[in-house]
Amino acid sequence: MSSQYLALPRLSLRFFPIWRRHWLVWKKIAAPSILGHLADPVIYMLGLGYGLGSLLPEMGGMSYMAFLAAGTVCYSTMNSASFEALYSGFARMHEQRTWEAILNTPVSLDDVVLSEILWAATKSLMSGAAVLAVIWILGLSHSLMSLWMIPLALLIGLTFAAIGLIMTALAPAYDFFMYYFTLVITPMMLLCGVFFPVTQLPASMQIVAGALPLTHAIDLARPLMSGAVPPQALLHIGVLLAYTLVSFYVSLVLFRRRLSR
Amino acid sequence: MNAVIKASGLQKSYGGNRVVDGLDLSINRGECFGLLGPNGAGKTTTLRMLLGLIAPDSGTAMLLDLPVPQAAREARIRVGVVPQMDNLDPDFTVAENLLVYGRYFGMQDSEIEARIPSLLEFASLTSKRDAKVPTLSGGMKRRLTLARALVNDPDVIFLDEPTTGLDPQARHLIWQRLRELTQQGKTLLLTTHFMDEAERLCHRLAVMDNGKLISQGTPRELIEQNIEPQVVEVFGETSGQWANEHAANYAQRFEVSGESVFCYVQDAQPLVKQLQAQTELRYLHRPANLEDVFLKLTGREMRE
């Protein structure tokens, strides 16, 4: 691989006009978009929370609904960043040729990729905040500590946007994304502690879960929602940041290679 | 002369296939320069290298006195691009497309807003200011793409097949606008495979094939240097037979293509006289044009 692809990211504030472009598009479809952010996670949370919750006395020292609430914020945040980075990102790169138009101006590919990550994280932030608002309204979290969920949603968004963009850089077509959702996103939702504690899994699967970013996000979220300082918080933040930075760099190298024709 | 685009020895290969092969080019300020060539000749790759979007394997390129791709960002502040395929923002109105695009150049919203009315007028889109892009016709989209390329008031404009896919009315309007831009002193570099477009618009032309420039000059020079001045086209079922028996006696050069024979001659009179006696053949006598040059230089066989 040619060395010009491997250069470190050269970041600038020129990403900001691109972020504003995405924001302007989003404002035009804000109502269905907010509904989309809310409907799926809230239905899961309420359905499982009331349905399964009535059979379970408690989980992890809290009501099942409250247990589920922390996991729901995290996985809905993961999902919105992933969908944005994969499907919408691919549309902008490939189908609509939005990137091509932008790259003809004094904006570089590094700025474009940075704007994609920050925009997908912005969507995560909105999605996380919307679910959090429902949780507050339902009285499932009473602690001001749960406000820390907002910056956490941004961090989770950055992580999954960066990982997702690797897929976008490799994708020949939209169909390709099914592999990622089936083999990466869905297993994470089921293994990383959204619906039950990771400690219920066999030891070998716990090791796998421990390496996955969503586990670390949930390990931060669940104590915060019930008003406690998360144990090993720096470790979990460090893992999420490492996933973000490495994935950003890898996706950038892959985009540089892909768009060099 | 003041060259605003300069390339020397540009070379680019993809997977062992040399797409651009030792290209030298110099385009002066205020000039409209046309790059002609069949599909796959390397025209778009050349434009992308001159814009600094891709790095050449070897050779150097200068755009507005700045080396590209090293200083491409600085150079592109004063450049506009009309791409081959439309890449307007479908979610936005006509005016929003211009506003959002101007921001990529670091322009203030007030500065862009002040330019939008004149850009819309230039593109004959004033009444479409608030129309969404998917509701525009193909010609309107092209004109909006042209207006968008002018949002930063560039000195140099790159146009990659600006009228492909347009109807004659839409093409003529685009041509008129491009002529206005050259009159304003802008430098235009355009690719096309419409010879009439090249002949009408361009001060100078280069014909490109297999990654190389094979001829270069004003439209008239290209015709004079490469081809006999007169062409007689002969049509009819027996044209092939006629060509075998007579064409070489009258024409310096001739080509048979299906039921047509193209005779290239210095003086057409003897040939025309001979043809007037052939009742089963029809003929057309005309001066040689760029299309004849193009076909001679790049061959008649299909590409791709």
Residue range A129-147: mean pLDDT, rounded: 91
User: Does residue A8 belong to any structural domain of this protein?
Assistant: no
- Please name the residue that has the structure tokens 């970013």: A213
Confidence band for A112, pLDDT divided at 50, 70 and 90: very high
User: Does residue A6 belong to any structural domain of this protein?
Assistant: no
A18-34: string of b/e by CB count within 10 Å (b at 16+)? bbbbbeebbeeeeeebe
What's the pTM value of the predicted model, to 2 decimals? 0.92
Residues from chain B contacting residue A25 (CB–CB below 8 Å):
89, 91-92
Segment among A113-127, A205-219, B158-172 with least mean pLDDT: B158-172
Tell me the residues of A at the B interface, defined by beta carbons under 8 Å apart: 4, 14, 17-18, 20-21, 24-25, 28, 96-98, 100-108, 260-261
Domain that holds residue A75: 33-258
User: Does residue A11 belong to any structural domain of this protein?
Assistant: no
CA dist., res. B147 & res. B93, Å (int)? 14
Cβ contact (<8 Å) for A104 and B77?
A: no
3-state percent helix, strand, coil for chain A, nearest multiple of 5 = 80, 0, 20
User: Does residue A161 belong to any structural domain of this protein?
Assistant: yes
Q: For chain B, which residues make up each domain, given as ranges?
A: 3-224, 228-287
Which of B14, B76, B89 is closest, CB to CB, to A261? B14
> Which H or E run contains A118?
helix A109-137
Angle (CA) A210 A212 A215, round 5° = 65
Count of domains for chain A: 1
The per-residue pLDDT for range B191-212, each reduced to its tens digit, is: 998 888 898 899 999 999 999 9
This model of the complex carries an ipTM of 0.92
Task: Please determine, looking at this structure, whether the domain spanning B3-224 carries the CATH number 3.40.50.2300.
Answer: no
Cβ contact (<8 Å) for B92 and A24?
A: yes
> Which H or E run contains B8?
strand B3-14
Residue range A48-57: mean pLDDT, rounded: 90
Nearest to A205 by CA among A190, A183, A220, A225: A190
Burial label, B165 (beta-carbon count in 10 A; 0-12, 13-18, 19+): middle
User: Does residue A14 belong to any structural domain of this protein?
Assistant: no
User: Does residue A170 belong to any structural domain of this protein?
Assistant: yes
User: Does residue A22 belong to any structural domain of this protein?
Assistant: no
What does R_g of chain A's alpha carbons equal in angstroms?
Answer: 19
The reply to whether domains B3-224 and B228-287 share a CATH topology is no
CA dist., res. B208 & res. B225, Å (int)? 16
pLDDT of residue B304 exceeding 80, the answer is no
The residue that leads in pLDDT, B271 or A161, is A161
Q: Mean pLDDT across chain B, nearest whole number?
A: 92
Tell me the residues of B at the A interface, defined by beta carbons under 8 Å apart: 14, 51, 53-55, 73-74, 76-77, 79, 81, 83, 85-92, 96, 100-101, 103-106, 148, 152
Please provide the CATH number assigned to the domain covering B228-287.
3.30.70
Segment among A96-105, A109-118, B80-89, B294-303 with least mean pLDDT: B294-303
The residue that leads in pLDDT, B59 or B275, is B59
Cβ contact (<8 Å) for A21 and B81?
A: no
User: Does residue A9 belong to any structural domain of this protein?
Assistant: no
pLDDT, position B302? 67
Confidence band for B303, pLDDT divided at 50, 70 and 90: low
